[in-house]
């Protein structure tokens, strides 16, 4: 085995089968920069990192064919999203993301070029978020490409999902439904080119390419409000918080279950993403349904005491982040209702289940244990 | 979605497709006990755990068809080993294992019974090692069952692999080759029954069922010396340490590369596992080759200054752990030699590569980045 000189250039068309695990690891190591707080980085039995008294830990996985298809867009977006979904979890606890370990299961025909693309996106996102990649693992698999990231963050004042109280407002950040609308068009053949522009419109025949592009980007490169949760925790404004990965209906019920309260949502005030709404007008998906049930918006769901909503809005202005009170928590066993004018109807979550619908794709990339 | 009462009994024959991700998560959550130092456990966006100033992090994966076959033995052994391979990494850094997150990718036809078996073994091993399972993730996959664990440990005085010096003794703990010998018989059809006894001997027609059983157990349920590294670090006895996951030849070269030294091994003193040797006598695999190149023994490889070898043995006696000086580190570019009597021959590592030999199984379950 030759190992002279880190970062020797590899043929980008070479496959895992050509390069082997050791060659691949050497290549990846040469790409990953040292980071602050990292005493022992990649290359030993374990990484050793500086931590505080309270450490947050989360893990989330992207599986090819379940959470993404490689023809949807450039490989770097897969790497970005694999980290982003974990960043969203740390942010929803009001944590500061610090260290990531990356576990890759790779089919033998994966090329260095494709893997480099994934790492381009992953390392770019890590640099944006102040995260150091400190370790990982590479394994062969006879199955699909799988990228599993565990992210450690620093915690202090935490935002939990089990503190919602009857009378609290149900508040969401940002707009909802764009990622789910984008997913539908990707499943219909739309493709994002390497330059970030639409390379195929797929089944879409309407106008509004800007809206289509915005929704596809929302699906392939989500942008959670990463610092907002920390600001809320510092000001002690909210009773509960979680990220909207699974769709508003499913996640709101999860918060109700954790907090032992019920909740209602006013359909008239849902902040349906304007691009998703625009696509609907031109024959696209139902924007309202995408906003209510579609997942992967990675915005925040908050339980806010009514007298703190003004303070919340003051903080949100600083971050240029829309916040919308869409309903209220109430006494009673965990359940959801939807308000239409004066009427209340039972609201059933419609988050898809990977296991239950073989061949379909659930809106949430995975479920957290 | 009904969620009344945690731990509602599930039909053990039910599959993931029957139960769905949410039902599955509810079931798993009900099984996982709270642990010391865990402020927020399973069920929120991220876990929150108490940590010290230095945290060790490692991740390792078991992929069905690459690292195990479910017909080899009971499901609980898969769960045990998935944690053990990570425990070995933390132990080789002289750390104390504390918190695990478990990421499962499951085919839709996985039964609750099988998954419960995996968790039985995982939680049993966690309890033995003082580890709390604090979070995880469940995802569907169209590919093989994959269990990816990230383990956090407390670190203080660390043992690294890059400190070997010319003149240090090459020392290994325990005996070598049993796991590789066991693997060969499993690949030949030997099977371990649920009661821990041999249910099929496969291609094996010799006597020595005790040796066969011992080697198969070494492969399916490895027992690394988990506390020995910490004792060594406290007494400042060794210059470098790493675990033997990949086989002595491959791992020794890795230590040479990290430390920028060469090394030689004396073939006459290798501590070939007596059960592996016994099997060879009766027509089994080559015990010497299994000890030299076979992986997954999860013993320790150490670089020990000659004047500290006595102290090392004193500590090893306390743990009832054999330690053997098998060679020496030397100046020169990283490379290995084998000593046979007075002759030295170049030694080339023979660790298998998953990617390079499609259909074959590498001795190391995976390679660490």
Phi, psi of A278 (to 5 degrees): -60, -45
pTM for the whole structure? 0.93
Buried b (16+ CB within 10 A) or exposed e, A258-270: bbebbbbbbbeeb
> Which chain B residues are within 8 Å of A258, Cβ to Cβ?
43-44
pLDDT (0 to 100) of residue B197: 84
Enter the tokens of residue B78: 């898969």
| Residue found under tokens 């599993």 | A148
By three-state DSSP, how is residue B154 classified? Answer: strand
The angle that helices B228-235 and B75-92 make with each other, rounded to 10 degrees, is 10
Distance CA B272, CA A152 (A): 41
| CA distance, residue A185 to nearest chain B CA (Å) | 22
Q: What is the dihedral of CA A75, A76, A81, A86, to 10 degrees?
A: 120
User: Which of A41, A355, A366 is the mutation pick for testing B, counting most B CBs within 10 A?
Assistant: A355
CA atoms within 13 A on the CB side of B4: 3
Q: In terms of DSSP bridges, do strands B323-330 and B262-266 run parallel, antiparallel, or are they unpaired?
A: antiparallel
Enter the tokens of residue A112: 């260095």
Contact: B103, A61; criterion CB under 8 Å: yes
Among A110, A135, A119, A31, residue whose Cα is nearest residue A80: A119
| CA distance, residue A211 to nearest chain B CA (Å) | 30
Largest CA distance in chain A: 74
A58 to chain B: nearest residue by CA? B46
Question: Which one of A20, A47, A158 has the shortest CB-CB distance to B40?
Answer: A158
B151 to chain A: nearest residue by CA? A46
Among B71, B150, B143, B127, residue whose Cα is nearest residue B369: B150
Q: For CA atoms A156, A157, A163, A168, give the dihedral sign.
A: negative
Contacts of B9 (CB under 8 A, 6+ apart): none
Burial class (CB in 10 A: 0-12, 13-18, 19+), A323: buried
Distance CA A133, CA A131 (A): 7
Q: A121, A87 in Cβ contact below 8 A?
A: no
Among A329, A3, A340, residue whose Cα is nearest residue A168: A329
| Residue found under tokens 């030759």 | A2
Question: Which one of B42, B362, B367 has the shortest CB-CB distance to A369?
Answer: B42
Residues in chain A: 369
Contact: A21, B362; criterion CB under 8 Å: yes
pLDDT (0 to 100) of residue B283: 73
Q: What is the dihedral of CA A197, A200, A201, A203, to 10 degrees?
A: -160
Among B128, B140, B103, B99, residue whose Cα is nearest residue B118: B103
| CA distance, residue A272 to nearest chain B CA (Å) | 24
User: Which of A91, A139, A296 is the mutation pick for testing B, counting most B CBs within 10 A?
Assistant: A139
Distance CA B252, CA B246 (A): 9
Distance CA B233, CA A296 (A): 46
Question: Which one of B15, B21, B353 has the shortest CB-CB distance to A21?
Answer: B353
From first to last of its 369 residues, chain A has per-residue pLDDT tens of 333 333 457 889 999 888 888 888 888 989 999 899 999 999 899 999 999 999 999 999 999 999 999 999 999 999 999 999 999 999 999 999 999 999 999 999 999 999 999 999 999 999 999 999 999 889 999 999 999 999 999 999 999 999 999 999 999 999 999 999 999 999 989 999 878 888 887 877 777 688 999 999 999 999 999 999 999 999 999 999 999 999 999 999 999 999 999 999 999 999 999 999 998 887 777 999 999 999 999 999 999 999 999 999 999 999 999 999 999 999 989 999 999 888 999 999 886 666 665 334 443 334 443
pLDDT (0 to 100) of residue A229: 93
Alpha helices per DSSP H over A260-340: 274-281, 287-293, 309-318
> ipTM value of the model?
0.92
Contacts of A90 (CB under 8 A, 6+ apart): A56, A58, A96, A97, A151, A153, B45, B46
> Which chain B residues are within 8 Å of A51, Cβ to Cβ?
51-55
pLDDT (0 to 100) of residue B365: 36
| CA distance, residue B54 to nearest chain A CA (Å) | 5
Contacts of B181 (CB under 8 A, 6+ apart): B215, B218, B273, B275, B276, B279, B280, B284, B285, B287, B290, B294
Instruction: List, for residues B197-237, the tens digit of each pLDDT value.
Output: 888 878 777 776 889 999 999 999 999 999 999 999 999 99
Question: Which one of B3, B49, B253 has the shortest CB-CB distance to A57?
Answer: B49
- 10-residue block means of pLDDT along chain B (369 residues)? 47 89 86 93 94 98 96 96 98 98 95 95 97 92 97 96 98 97 92 85 77 95 96 94 96 96 97 93 84 96 98 95 98 95 91 56 41
Residue B248's CB: how many other CB atoms inside 10 A?
29
C-alpha A174: how far from chain center: 14
Contacts of A154 (CB under 8 A, 6+ apart): A51, A52, A54, A55, A56, A95, A96, A98
Q: A272, A343 in Cβ contact below 8 A?
A: no
| CA distance, residue B366 to nearest chain A CA (Å) | 5
Residue A341's CB: how many other CB atoms inside 10 A?
8
Question: Which one of A55, A106, A369 has the shortest CB-CB distance to B137?
Answer: A369
Contacts of B217 (CB under 8 A, 6+ apart): B182, B192, B196
Contact: B103, A150; criterion CB under 8 Å: yes
Query: What is residue B111's DSSP assignment?
Result: B
């Amino acid at each position: 085995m030759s190992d002279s000189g880190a970062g020797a250039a590899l043929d980008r068309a070479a496959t895992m089968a050509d390069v082997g695990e050791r060659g691949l690891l050497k290549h990846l190591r040469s790409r990953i920069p040292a980071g602050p707080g990292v005493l022992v980085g990649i290359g030993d039995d374990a990484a050793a990192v500086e931590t505080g008294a309270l450490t947050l830990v989360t893990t989330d996985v992207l599986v090819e064919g379940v959470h993404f298809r490689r023809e949807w867009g450039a490989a770097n977006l897969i790497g970005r999203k694999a980290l982003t979904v974990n960043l969203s979890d740390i942010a929803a606890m009001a944590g500061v993301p610090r260290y990531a370990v990356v576990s890759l299961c790779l089919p033998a025909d994966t090329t260095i070029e494709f893997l480099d693309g994934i790492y381009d996106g992953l390392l770019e996102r890590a640099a944006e978020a102040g995260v150091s990649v400190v370790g990982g693992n590479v394994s062969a698999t006879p199955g699909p490409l799988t990228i599993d990231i565990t992210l450690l963050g620093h915690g202090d004042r935490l935002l939990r999902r089990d503190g919602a109280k009857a009378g609290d407002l149900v508040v969401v950040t940002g707009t909802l439904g764009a990622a789910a609308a984008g997913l539908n068009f990707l499943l219909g053949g739309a493709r994002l080119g390497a330059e970030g522009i639409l390379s195929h419109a797929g089944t879409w025949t309407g106008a509004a390419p800007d809206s289509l592009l915005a929704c596809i980007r929302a699906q392939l490169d989500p942008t959670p409000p990463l610092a907002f949760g920390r600001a809320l925790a510092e000001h002690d404004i909210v009773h509960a918080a979680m990220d909207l990965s699974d769709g508003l209906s499913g996640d709101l019920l999860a918060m109700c279950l954790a907090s032992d309260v019920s909740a209602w949502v006013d359909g008239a005030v849902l902040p349906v993403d304007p691009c998703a709404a625009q696509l609907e007008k031109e024959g696209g998906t139902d924007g309202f349904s995408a906003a209510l049930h579609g997942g992967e918006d990675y915005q925040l769901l908050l339980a806010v005491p009514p007298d703190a909503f003004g303070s919340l809005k003051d903080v949100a202005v600083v971050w240029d982040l829309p916040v919308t009170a869409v309903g209220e928590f109430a006494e009673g066993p965990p359940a959801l209702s939807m308000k239409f004018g004066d009427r209340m109807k039972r609201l059933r979550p419609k988050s898809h289940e990977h296991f239950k619908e073989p061949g379909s794709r659930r809106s949430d990339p995975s479920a957290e244990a």
